[in-house]
Structure 1
């Protein structure tokens, strides 16, 4: 081949590749679009256990655990410790861990010791920051376990056997204004009780739970429970909801059934959230329920048939006596998805599957694309599809908000025991972080940094937040929001709530530094006493969270 032909061929190849490759500006735009659809980062390839349950504590550590009846995990207990349990279904002697304490700041973890089985249990955090975790399976069904937000190698679970009045498996917990915890329902438990329990009293019967039981499949486990600003409880099970005055054990209101007649609770496992409460306007209380599975779906999985999950969401305004469900449609059907309140008030819908139900081997077609739902937009413009995760997260997956605004994702165990080989969805021991769009570099110029705040907030009392911005304050609004971190398992975030605190306009303290005056929550019913993450939000972009403790003036 002569020199002229070689040069000609070289030019053709160069032109071909030039046409195929995006320009630098196109690459920048493409990267920006991906960031504005969120990002995923792997934090830990394996923590040794599957993240079936998670709770963020006020020392920036996350308690994670699965079940002691899965067999040996991939993480040994330190110091040669072992658990001896004659009732264990797999191994009476187990020297592996089934709980870890994950440190957000250092991205490290260490093993914790569990003696009794907390599988499919519930939890809530006391005002002093102690996690109270109730019930479980086998020898753990009447156990109360506590873990304080302590540090050091001696920080571990404390277990109190036979403390619960009834066996609690698949029940729901909620912290109350008087610092007690209510424990609602569970498998074959149509009642509720309190921790600490009331002396001399048994559990309180709740006929609503027996009325919503759907045969052997139940479909009313892990009921959705929310504390309302009037002090009553909203309880949703199967397709129905009530308002319960738990102090008088009286149903004060029956709400309309969610349209469509299909169940939303385990094992049809949808999810639910109390939309942010705003103290700057007349209080509007609204619940949102999303996803689930058709009534026949659970039974059909035994025959290898996997029905499409539900794609509908329903919103109902509880503060209106004429409240009716208003339905919306998600971009994809979802069962077993988690709903996380983000610091700017958006709702992240993440994890789950498009077919089947909760339960062992009962789901197909994982949905790896999160959704962000913006409650205050017009109805047909509220859902945005985010960047897909490389990992399917189906049965026994979890998601919680972290202090810096990232979302911690873990879990997915669709087979009995720890199963890694020759299965469609191996047991997942990893942890990932999802970065919502507000963490993209494109918004750095809008992001506040909190410089100073009182760490103790008193109900109704004013307090100041000093924050700085990279650039002068924009025309966007500034607000102060508090979020109660959730105990998350089986697609429900127990105790999760956001309150937008009453505030006045930010004033300039110095160059690019501002002071915002806000007020502590109005009542303990709006925000029960305890630890919350406080965020300053500017033009829809939140700061990192700061821990505050809300107390009564006389504590």
Structure 2
């Protein structure tokens, strides 16, 4: 088969291969809320993230070799990367993604926006690095593939251009809002742009540079500026210049914009002065730069090969250059090279100031995954050298991306969607070495907004060990360049409880918008970054309101808990400063900590000591509020535990049961609409509607009490019941009750016990209960002393007593203990919290301790069930995959620990890594040919561990070191002026051949072969070649272990010369349908009529089948088919029957006019060609060859007007037979006739198959005819 798509068609099929809205814009609110909107927790543990919202709203490691760089290039030694994560970093397992992440942008909420070659349907995804989950965010009005993009000052994502078709760009500006995950359309650009670059300027406008408009290399010459605040564009018409597509544009600290390098080719560096709209040359030296980044303001690094992936492949380079644009005469300076040559790689700025290079290949062939560089490298600005790090698993070549995350890890994804590259529907996350060098610094508080030059406070308990503070812009990456990343060092000094930092000087240093704020300690370990917004507005001078309702409650003998009502602020409250002094009435307050929420736990106190507290609020601009009220509490001992029968904290928050915190199992069932509320006294509480809601605690034996008792609870009434409102009771009138009551006139608290089944003795409080106020109430019945007392807020508050206090109480055995009602109704309206029942009388001190002590939740001591069905499967010589069936738990399983040991039957198990949350894991970095045994256990939030699963074992295969046999029988055949077809005999291998590495050089004796393709079949078509040029080829085989065979023999071929005068050409390769394409591109499409069909039995693949009676193809009668001079007709012809008269191969004739045919005119069936001197005669030449049925012939007719020649060739040989008539010096053009294949006017149908038909408007030579005969028509 030889039907291959042309390069243009292939490009259109894959989309963005560089041969790569609906609603009006309105005022958008901020889409991020600084640290409170970020899903990352600021954990101190190294290399670990927590998921908690802060608020609701070898491949072959080939070293650098000679020839890959210039002789003067500084060379870095290539050494194997260290295996210690503290030196080499560590990769996550490969994540499956629903798309190829060709475009990625970090959002202000910490998630990642990514899209593929098609932005409709599932082609756009929002990825959450915390949960590893995805949500689709499609955009269907247009395709944003191969656009430029960045993050607007308000946090929305700005996308410029996109693709209509290959090399034809969109005029669109498209905007994504992360807060709603919706798209909208902005005002359109003057130019359509495909492969543009977006650069945020110091005033927040977005500059769009270059990008193809309507054709390949037709780049938009004028930059345009987008102002999101007005949804308008400004064209920089004075800056007219042809800048190659996807230029590496960087905003300098002086406001100029520099083109450091670009995606497609080496260039001299330019700067654009926006004030004068003029370009000037920085350094005239033309240097490579496959990727570039500004590693500090004004200082730029670029490295590797910049080369369009559609150009013929070239070896990558490892060169690295730096330039300091803050110097008076800046020039590029070469530094130590990377260890590996790279093209299509990404440079990512890290919070410690280093630069990470990931991905790319040893050459610019995007399909050569065998030459992918899997080892990242880390560049140090201090030493200007590179360090090789741990290898990733997946090739990341053309269309791969790399993006810094707020936790300091790097998301590496994508690669593919451009034939012949493999589509990488996956991602890996890299943890740089700094995450393994100690605990992280923590960020306790941070400003949500910063204004230029102002000072701000960052709360951290680690201030003493902070070595640097930096801002890093939210990245936006495509095509090996991050268009939005920026590293800005921040001045800082230590302050009480944290650091005082100074915002950047202006927008040219840090353009307005969202940044990650990193603290880095003396070990180089970064914090998890809060995301803050920098703006150029006026300084915030308005202080927050003072915190209110400060309350202090003893939690234990060494801890007091504080809570208060949150402050408000015109911009936002960043933190609270908590101050303390010892003693009731003390005034010497000292700050003891900061909080970002309206609560604080003060620990490490002295038992029995009173402490006073005050709090004030701080906003992001360091404006301080007034102080709150002063609250005092005493660090008291643990609450009483003897005699405690039941206790309820109501901490569940949801569900229909509430746990008994004593562990005695008196679980309460919520009925009649009883619910949990977040507005309890300490966290959640129990909400009761006063009409139907209650909680049933059952009637267990230890609740059948006839002696002393204590009842206590925090109570908050929202309405006054008409009669008693029971807090908790075991009564139908007789039996004990604990309630609010109007019995004495005002609403008071009451407690009652029954001496017998027909009476009730009751004590009421003096305190009149108010609505919407928290009270701690306790009732105490002492049977031995015959007393019945009531306490309100820890103070004895005995009021009216009704009845005689008995020495024992009546137990109403048939009644359940019920919260919020008793038999007969008597519902309580409001909230109850911290309810306790004792079977003894508590002292006042014990009651006060209970009042100040929240009930601890019931400890979970039940472990999960053991995981089952553990399965171990070998994935490679260094990896075993594991899966198992999930465990169950009374509360919930939080993770699994996988352990392994070496050998079958081994017992010295150790953990393979951190706890995993799913039911699968991959154990990597294993030794080949080794058996490993595994077991798994589950854990829950309380740290309970399940029993182990059963043991599963697997053995990694022994390394395959045997190479395939070399390919044989390599042949090279010229197919056209730009194409050579190659075939060879397959290699064999002990495991299996996975592909072939095809190499080529130019010239009849050349030896400088370079790899051009990695086909998996035993044939390849090499396209895009130069005409009349000799090429040499060799091929070798490879297997899954990357063993490579010896080379095949060398085969060579010379591309055909370019043939002029070709008017129409037909390969008939369609296979189906009613039209056939003109391969010349001139548009002479043929229409199949009268039963003409395609057949798979052509000379080269498909052909045209004609039935000899009705079938033909009409080619039309275009102007360039009206020929009066020389002509050549040629085709492969296969007759299946002898026509009674002429059988026209192709003609433009009704008797007069040219004909190309088979004919019985001379007796036997021969081939013939005829031209007309005038409208009434025909001169004809017949072949000597007698045409046989069922045989392919290549036939050409040549009319030379200048020499009066009319010749016929059969199978490339001149075969002139009989001539009838006089050959004219010009031919008659029968203007009214169409050109028709398979007949002429009047009939004369041809029966059989025709293939490879060509029409020329000149006379071809015999050599040219033979070249056509040997060359299939490309289509």
| TM interval, short-chain normalised | 0.7 to 0.9
Pick the structure with greater CA Rg: 2
2:515, 2:533 within 8 Å by CA — same for their partners in 1? yes
| 1:172 equivalent in alignment to 2:193 | no
Task: Check the 8 A contact 1:262/1:294 in 2, yes or no.
Answer: no
Partner of 2:273: 245
Does the Cα contact within 8 Å between 1:533 and 1:545 map onto a contact in 2? yes
| TM-score, length-scaled by structure 2 | 0.33
Q: Is the 8 A contact 1:36 1:437 kept in 2?
A: yes
1:456: Cα distance to partner? 1.2
> Does residue 458 in structure 1 map to residue 466 in structure 2?
no
Corresponding residue for 1:300? 312
Aligned equivalent of 1:146, options 144, 162, 175: 175
Closer, same or farther: CA 202–384 of 1 in aligned 2, 3 Å? closer
Trace 1:260-271 onto structure 2 (pairs within 5 A).
261-264=286-289, 270-271=290-291
Secondary structure of the corresponding residue to residue 488 of structure 1 = strand
2:237 matched to which residue of 1? 204
- Aligned-pair CA distance for 1:207: 4.7
Q: TM-score, normalised by structure 1?
A: 0.75
**What residue is the counterpart of 2:92 in the other structure?**
41
Instruction: Give the whole-Å Cα distance in 2 for the aligned partners of 1:534 and 1:53.
Output: 24
Separation in 2, partners of 1:371, 1:200: 40
CA distance in 1 between counterparts of 2:240 and 2:197 reads 16
Structure 1 residues 22-421: aligned runs within 5 Å: 33-42=84-93, 44-46=95-97, 48-68=98-118, 96-115=121-140, 116-138=142-164, 141-151=170-180, 155-160=181-186, 163-187=188-212, 188-196=219-227, 202=235, 204=237, 206-209=239-242, 220-237=244-261, 238-251=266-279, 253-258=280-285, 261-264=286-289, 270-277=290-297, 285-293=298-306, 299-301=311-313, 307-328=314-335, 329-356=337-364, 361=367, 365-377=371-383, 379=384, 382-413=385-416, 415-416=418-419
CA distance in 1, matches of 2:307, 2:190: 33
Q: Is the 8 A contact 2:160 2:174 kept in 1?
A: yes
The runs of 5 or more residues in structure 1 that have no matched partner are: 1-29, 70-82, 84-95, 211-219, 265-269, 278-284, 302-306, 417-422
Structure 1 pair 449–202 and aligned structure 2 pair: CA distance change class (3 A): closer
- For 2:236 and 2:532, the matched residues in 1 are separated by 34
- Counterpart position of 1:429: 425
Shift of 1:294: 6.8
Give the match for residue 504 of structure 2. Answer: 521
SS in structure 1 at match of 2:460: strand
* Structure 1 residue 185: Cα displacement: 0.7
Cα distance in 2, alignment partners of residues 553 and 147 from structure 1? 24
Measure the CA separation in 2 of the matches of 1:293 and 1:150: 37
Does the CA-based 8 Å contact 1:172-1:186 persist in structure 2?
yes
Give yes or no for contact 2:126–2:136 (8 Å, CA) kept in 1: yes
Aligned partner of residue 438 in structure 1, secondary structure: helix
Partner of 1:74: none
Structure 1 residues 265-322: Cα deviation after superposition (integer angstroms, max 9, x where no partner): xxxxx00001123xxxxxxx21111111579x96433xxxxx3201101101111122
Cα deviation code 1:132-189 (max 9, x no counterpart):
11111117611211111215xxx222245x7111011111001112221110011221
For 2:127 and 2:164, locate their aligned partners in 1 and report how far apart those are by CA, in whole Å. 26
Shift of 1:525: 1.2
Q: Does 1:503 align with 2:461?
A: no
Contact 1:43/1:107, CA 8 A, preserved across alignment: no
Aligned residue for 2:534, secondary structure, equals: strand
Pick which of 344-353 and 460-469 moved more.
460-469
Give the deviation of 1:248 after TM superposition: 2.3
**Which of residues 446, 449, 467 is equivalent to 2:442?**
449
Deviations 1:398-426 (A, max 9, x none): 0000011110111010534xxxxxx6x52
Q: Judge conservation of contact 1:355–1:364 (CA < 8 Å) in 2.
A: no
The structure whose RCO (Cα within 8 Å, separation 6+) is larger is: 1
Does the CA contact (< 8 Å) of 1:52 and 1:490 recur in 2? yes
Structural RMSD (CA): 2.5
| Structure 2: distance between partners of 1:348 and 1:201 | 36
- 1:531 — aligned with what? 514
Provide the secondary structure at the position in 2 that maps to 1:448.
coil
> Partner of 1:479 in structure 2?
468
Provide the C-alpha distance between the structure 1 equivalents of 2:317 and 2:453, rounded to a whole number of angstroms: 42
In the alignment, is the contact (CA less than 8 A) between 1:293 and 1:310 conserved in 2? no
Cα 1:362–1:221 change in 2 (3 A) is farther
Quote how far apart the aligned CAs of 1:112 are: 1.3
* Count of residue correspondences: 441
* Map of 1:546 onto structure 2: 530
Whole-Å separation in 1 of the counterparts to 2:525 and 2:310: 41
1:19 equivalent in structure 2: none
- How far 1:242 sits from its partner (Å)? 1.7
Distance in 1, matches of 2:317 and 2:351, equals 27
Shift of 1:31: 9.2
When residues 415 and 254 of structure 1 are mapped into structure 2, their CA distance, relative to the original with a 3 A threshold, is: closer
* Residue of structure 2 in register with 1:87 after alignment: none
Alpha-carbon contact 1:241-1:255 (below 8 Å) kept: yes
SS of the equivalent of 1:451 reads coil
- 1-structure distance, mates of 2:402, 2:307: 24
Task: Tell whether the 8 Å contact from 1:123 to 1:131 is kept in structure 2 after alignment.
Answer: yes
Normalized per residue, the structure richer in helix is: 1
- More strand by proportion, 1 or 2? 2
- Helix, strand or coil: the match of 1:439? helix
Answer whether contact 1:529 1:550 (CA < 8 A) is retained. Answer: yes
1:14-34 Cα offsets, whole Å, 9 max, x none, are: xxxxxxxxxxxxxxxx99614
Q: Is 2:470–2:490's contact at 8 Å kept on the other side of the alignment?
A: yes
Distance in 1 separating the partners of 2:348 and 2:319: 17
Look up the SS of the partner of 2:438 in the other structure.
helix
Provide the rounded CA distance (Å) in 1 between the counterparts of 2:104 and 2:306.
24
What is the CA distance between 1:244 and its match in structure 2?
Answer: 1.0
Matched residues in 2 for 1:175 and 1:291: separation? Answer: 25
Checking the alignment, whether the CA contact within 8 Å between 2:398 and 2:416 is kept in structure 1 is yes
CA contact (8 A) 1:361 1:414 kept: no
CA deviation profile, 1:103-141 (whole Å, cap 9, x unmatched): 122210111112111111111211110101111111761
| 2:451–2:538 contact (8 Å) kept in structure 1 | no
How far is the alpha carbon of 1:209 from its aligned partner?
2.7
Q: Distance in 2 between matches of 1:203 and 1:232?
A: 14
Shift in Å at residue 519 of structure 1?
0.6
Shift of 1:554: 1.9
Separation (CA, whole Å) in 1 of partners of 2:91 and 2:373:
15
Q: Contact 1:192–1:205 (CA<8 Å) still a contact in 2?
A: no
